[in-house]
Amino acid sequence: MWRASRRVPSRIKCLGQGRPTSRAQQPCRNYAEEGADKSAKAAQASSSGGVGRTILTATLAVGAGVGGLTVYAKTSPEFRKTLEGNIPYAREYLGAVLDRGPKMPDLGLGGVVDKAKDMVGMGKKKEEQLGSFLPKLSKSKADEEEKQRKAAADTAAQAVPAAADHRPLPVEESEVATPTDDKPREILAEPIAFGVSAIMGRPQSTPKKPVPEPPPAQLPDEKPPAAEKMEQSTAEAVAFAVSVGTDEPMPVAAKEPSAAHKESATKRPAKEKKPVGVEKPEETAAAAIAASMDEPLPPESKSEPKAKKKAEDKPATKKKALKEKAEDTAAAAVAAALDQPFATEARETPMRTPEEVQAKLLEKEIDDLADRAATLAIIQHELQDLKRTATSAIHAQEEAAHATKMHSEQIKHAMDEDTSGPLGKEEQWQAVTGAKEAQVDALKQAEATAAAARENLEKVRAVIKQGKSSLSEPDQEILSAEEELGKLAYELETAVGKVSKAQADAQVMQEYQALVEQGRKQFKKELESIMPDVKLGGWRGKLSEDELNSLIAHAHRRIEQLQSQLAEQQLLEKSRMDDALARQRTEDEKETLALLSRELERQKRELALAQDLRIAQARDQYEAEMRTQLRRQAGAHSEHLQDVLRVQEQELSSKHQAEMHDALMDERDRYQVKLNEAMARLRGVEAAIEGRADIEREARKAQELLIACETLKRLINTGNEEAASWEERRIPLSREVNTVKEAAGDSKFFQTLLGSVPQQAMEAGVFPEDSLRQRFLRVKRVCRRVAMIDETGGTLFQFFVSYLQSLLLVDAGRRSLPPGKEVDPKKLDTFTLLSYAEHSLENGDLEQAARFMNQLKGEPRKVASDWLEEARLTLEARQAAQALAAAAAAVGLGNLV
C-alpha cells in the first residue's frame, strides 16, 4: 500500500500541491510515499556514496569527540587524569599531543658537552700561558729569541751555582756543555762551552775560531738564524772593539767574517739591542775578546821596549774596557735573565728580597766569572798567538842563520881562487850576491818576526802578571801558561843568539873578504906603479927582459917586504890573537854568564811555577780538609745539641708530670667534697619530690582518663567535623578507646566498660546523631514508597500501587506521641511509625526513634535495617562513653587537687 503511485488530489489540501492559497495550509504529508521515499532514499543512500558519506561522518564525529576531549583535558588536569585512568593508552596520546612532542631521554650528554667546553677553554688558557714557556720549533725570530732568552737564563743560573762551589771541573763543564733537549740550546752550547771552559781554564781540544760557527753537522735547519745571531753578537762586539781602540787603525784584512759582521751589523741595527742585552755574558766577553785579539798589531812598533809598552798598554786597556763591557753585558744579561723568569712567572708580585740578594750574588759571581773569562781568554789567546809568532820567528831566525852561513860559504868559495869548480868566477860572485840578497831578506824577516814575537811575549807576560794580580789565587792554567811562556822565550832567545852568531861569522868573513880585496888592490896599485902599462890579467904579447927583470926584482922586493910584513904581522897577530883570545874569553865568560843567568832564570821560573802549583794544590787540599773537619764539627755539634735537648726534655716533662699530678689530686679532692654536699642535698630533695610525685601521678592519671573519656564522648557526638557530607562523618573510635584504655590502667571496671564498646564502632566508627537524622529523611522517603510491600517481595504492580499510595498519603507533619498515652503496637503502621520516629529525632531522642523504627515490618523494615543498625551502634557507643565519663569524673573528682 505504500508503494501507491502519486496522485494529485482534486482539492488542494496542503502546501506543495499546486499554488499556495491564502488558507492556512499544512505541509503535505505523504505517508505512503514517505516510507517509500525514506526507504528509497535509504536505498539510494546506501547505494550511491552513502557509505562514503557515512564513513566520513563517522570519522568526523570521532575526530570531533577526541579533539574535544583532548582540548578539555588540556584545560582541566583532573579531567585529564580521569581520562588517563580510564582509557588505555590515553596517557601516551595526551603526553604526545599536549606536552609539545615526545620527550627525549636524558642521555647525560649535556654534562659531557659542558665538560668538553670547559676543557677546551682550559686548554686554550693553558696554551696561552705555556706559549711563552714551551720551546716551539718555529722559524720565526721572536720565538728563537724567546727561546734563547730562556736558555740564557737557564744556563746562567746553571753555570752560576755550578761555579759557586769549587767542585772538580769536569762536572761543571759537562753540566753546562751538555746538549739539552732544546735544539737551539745545542747551537748555543758550543759558544757557551767555549766561554765557560775559558772560565774554567781548560783549553778546548780544538781551539775554535773566535767567531763561533754553529756546528754545521748538527742542525742545518736552524743554522741560518743561529749563525745570524752569532754574527750579530760578534758584529756588536767588533763594533765595540772598534770604539775601544779608536787610535789604532782597524785592520781591514782581518777576516771576511768581520766584514760580513759589519754588513750585518749595519743591516740590522735595530736587532742589536735585543740580543745584546740578553746574550750570555761569557759568550759576549769571549767573542769580544777574541775579536779584538785577532786584530793584528799595528805595524809601526818594531822595537822591543816600545812594543813591550804598547803590548802592555793595549791588552790592559783593552782588557779593562772589555771587562767593563763584559760586566755591563753580564749585568744586563743577569738582570734581563732574572727579570725574564720572574716577570713571566709572577707578573703581579714584585721581586722579593731573598731573590734580590740572590740576584746580586749572581751578579757578583757573574762578574767574577767574567773577569776570569776575560783574563784567561786573553791569556789563552795571547799564548796561542805567541806560540805561533814564536815558532815563526824561530823558524825565520834559523833561516836567517842558514842564509848567512850560506852567504859566507859562498864568499869563501868565491874567494878561493884555486877551486874554481864548475862555476866561473863571475858566476861565483853572482851566487854570492844572490846569497847576500837572500841573507838580507831572511835577516829582515827574522828581525821582524823576532820583534813581533818579543812584543807578543811582553804582552803575554804583562797580561799574565795582571791576571795573576787580579785573580785571587793562581790558577792552574795561568801557571801552565807561564811555563809555556818561559819556554818560548828561551827558544826565541836561543834562535836569536844563533842568528847573531851566524851574523858575527859573516862579519868575520866579510872582513876577511875586505882585507883580501884590499891586499889585492894594493898589489895591483904597486904593480901598476911599477909597470903602468901592464894590467893584471892582460898578458898581451911578450914582455922585454928588462921588464921581466924589473918585475922579478920588484916581485922579490915585494916578497921580502911581504915576508917582513908577514913576520911583523905574525907577531902582531900573535899578540892580537892573545888579545882576541882574552877578549873572546871575556866574551865567552859574559856569554856563559848570560846563558847561566838565563838558565838560572828559567830554573827560577820553573821553580816558582812549581811552587805556585804546589801551593795551589796544597791550598785545595787544605781547604777540602778544612771543610771536612768543619762538617765533622758541625755534625758533632748538632749531635751534642740533640743530646742536650733530649735530656732537657725528659727533665722538663717529668717535672711537668709531677706538678700536673699534684694539681689534679687537689682538684679532685675539692671536687669530691663539693660533690658530697650536693649529693646529700639532692637526696633530700628527691625524697620530698618522690613523696609528692605519687600524688601528682595519680592526679594526672585521673585527669588523663577524664580527658580521654570526654574526648570519646565528644567524638561520638560530633564525629568528623571536617567531613563534607553526613556520609563521611564517621570516624573510627579505636584511637580514643585505646587512649582511654591506657589512661585507665589496670582498673577492671574501666576495662569492662571499654569492652562494651562494639567492635564495629571501633573499626568503622559511628555516625553522630546529626548524620543519622539526615539519613533518616531518605530512609523515611523510601520506606513510605514501599510501605505496602512485605518481606516476600512484590510484583511491579504492587510497587507501583505502593508508590501511588505514598504520593497520595500526605505527610501532615510530625506527629508527636501523646504524653502518657500507651501505644498500641497493632495500630502502628509504617507511616505512623515513621512520623513518630521523625518527631523523636527532631527532639534529639535517638533511642526512642530507634525503638519506633524497630517496629517496622516488611520491606520498609528491610529498607531501614541499615539505619537502625547504625543507630544502635551509636547508642551503644554513646552509652559506654557516658558511663566511662561518669566513672572517670568520679575518680578524677576524688583526686582533683
- Asked whether position 48 contacts other proteins by CB under 8 A, the answer is no
Q: How far is the CB of 841 from other proteins (least distance, A)?
A: 15
- Whether 303 contacts 451, CB under 8 Å: yes
Identity of the residue, 58 or 134, whose beta carbon is nearer to other proteins in the bound complex:
58
> What DSSP element (H or E) covers 14?
strand 14-15
Indicate whether 795 belongs to the interface with other proteins (CB under 8 A): yes
Which of 440, 543, 551, 782 touches other proteins by CB under 8 A?
A: 782
C-alpha–C-alpha distance, residues 285 and 369, integer Å: 10
d(CA 786, CA 60): 48
Binding mask 719-758 for other proteins (x = CB under 8 A): ----------------------------------------
Residue placing its CB nearer to other proteins in the complex, 725 or 795: 795
For residues 407 and 506, is the Cβ–Cβ distance under 8 A?
yes
The four Cα atoms 559, 560, 564, 570 give a dihedral, to 10 degrees, of 30
Residue 30 makes CB contacts below 8 A (sequence gap 6+) with 6, 37
Among the listed ranges 150-158, 630-638, 743-751, 855-863, the one in contact with other proteins (CB under 8 A) is 855-863
Give the separation between CA 465 and CA 459, rounded to whole angstroms.
Answer: 10
Stretch that binds other proteins, among 446-454, 545-553, 683-691, 788-796 (CB under 8 A): 788-796
Q: Which residue, among 319, 495, 501, 277, has the nearest Cα to 393 in the 3D structure?
A: 495
By CB under 8 A, is residue 333 in contact with other proteins?
Answer: no
Q: Within its chain, how far is the Cα of 467 from the centroid? A: 46
Q: Evaluate whether 193 touches 177 at the Cβ level (below 8 Å).
A: yes
Residue from 867, 874, 883, 891 in contact with other proteins (CB under 8 A):
867
Task: Calculate Rg over the CA atoms of the chain.
Answer: 72
Give whichever of 349 and 795 is closer to other proteins, judged by the CB atom.
795
**What Cα–Cα distance (Å) separates residue 137 from each residue in 176, 183, 271, 569, 668?**
22, 8, 21, 93, 79
Grid cell digits, residue 641: 745539641
Nearest distance from residue 868's CB to other proteins, in Å? Answer: 9
Contact in structure between 826 and 801 (CB atoms under 8 Å): no
Binding region for other proteins (CB under 8 A) out of 250-258, 269-277, 448-456, 792-800: 792-800
Which span (69-77, 162-170, 377-385, 858-866) binds other proteins, by CB under 8 A?
A: 858-866
Measured CA to CA, the distance from residue 247 to residue 234 in angstroms comes to: 21
Tell me the closest approach of the beta carbon of residue 762 to other proteins, in angstroms: 18
Q: To the nearest whole angstrom, how small is the minimum distance from the Cβ of residue 802 to other proteins?
A: 11
Q: Of 394-402, 592-600, 638-646, 775-783, which part binds other proteins (CB under 8 A)?
A: 775-783
Using CB under 8 A as the binding rule, whether residue 796 contacts other proteins is answered as yes
Residue pair 375/465 in contact by the 8 Å Cβ criterion: no
Q: Is residue 15 within a helix (H) or strand (E), and if so which, with residue range? A: strand 14-15
Contact call for residue 35 and other proteins (CB under 8 A): yes
Cell of 404: 848567512
Stretch that binds other proteins, among 167-175, 291-299, 510-518, 776-784 (CB under 8 A): 776-784
Dist CA 234 CA 501 (whole Å): 47
Q: Which stretch binds other proteins (CB under 8 A): 136-144, 496-504, 657-665, 772-780?
A: 772-780
Q: Between residues 706 and 863, which has the closer beta carbon with respect to other proteins?
A: 863
872 is an interface residue for other proteins by CB under 8 A? no
- Side-chain-facing half-sphere of 310: CA atoms under 13 Å: 19
Considering only residues 362 through 421, tell me which ones interact with other proteins, judged by CB under 8 A: none
For other proteins, which stretch binds (CB under 8 A), given 118-126, 353-361, 485-493, 779-787? 779-787
Ordered alpha helix ranges (H), 107-182: 109-131, 141-164, 169-177
Question: Which part of the chain contacts other proteins (CB under 8 A), choosing from 281-289, 509-517, 606-614, 773-781?
Answer: 773-781
Among 434, 675, 866, 896, binds other proteins (CB under 8 A): 866
Which candidate, 184, 192, 182, places its Cα nearest to that of 281?
Answer: 192
CA distance 289 to 245: 12
Nearer to other proteins, 5 or 86 (CB): 86
For residue 867, the minimal CB distance to other proteins (Å) is: 7
Instruction: Compare residues 486 and 719 and give the one whose CB is closer to other proteins.
Output: 719
Kindly indicate which of the ranges 13-21, 135-143, 297-305, 793-801 contains the residues binding other proteins, using the contact rule CB under 8 A.
793-801
Determine, following the binding rule CB under 8 A, whether residue 794 of this chain makes contact with other proteins: yes
Q: Pick the closest to residue 867 from 879, 854, 880, 858 (CA basis).
A: 854
Using CA atoms, how far apart are residues 252 and 296, in angstroms rounded to an integer?
Answer: 10
CB of 758: closest distance to other proteins in angstroms? 17
Distance between the two ends of the chain, CA-based, in angstroms? 105
- Asked if residue 144 lies in contact with residue 229, where contact means CB atoms within 8 angstroms, the answer is yes
Nearer to other proteins (CB atom), residue 179 or residue 758:
758
Q: Which is nearer to other proteins, 790 or 845 (CB)?
A: 790
Bridge-partner residues for 766, per DSSP?
731
In angstroms, what is the minimal distance from the CB of 814 to other proteins? Answer: 19
Q: Which of 235, 450, 863, 884 binds other proteins (CB under 8 A)?
A: 863
CA dihedral 719, 725, 726, 727 (to 10 degrees): -100
How far, in Å, CA of 568 to CA of 892, rounded? 186
Residue from 290, 786, 849, 877 binding other proteins (CB under 8 A): 786
Judged by CB under 8 A, the residue of 554, 602, 862, 872 near other proteins is 862
Please count the residues of this chain forming the interface with other proteins, following the rule CB under 8 A.
22
Q: Which residues bind other proteins (CB under 8 A)?
A: 35, 39, 775, 778-779, 782-783, 785-786, 792-796, 799, 859, 862-867
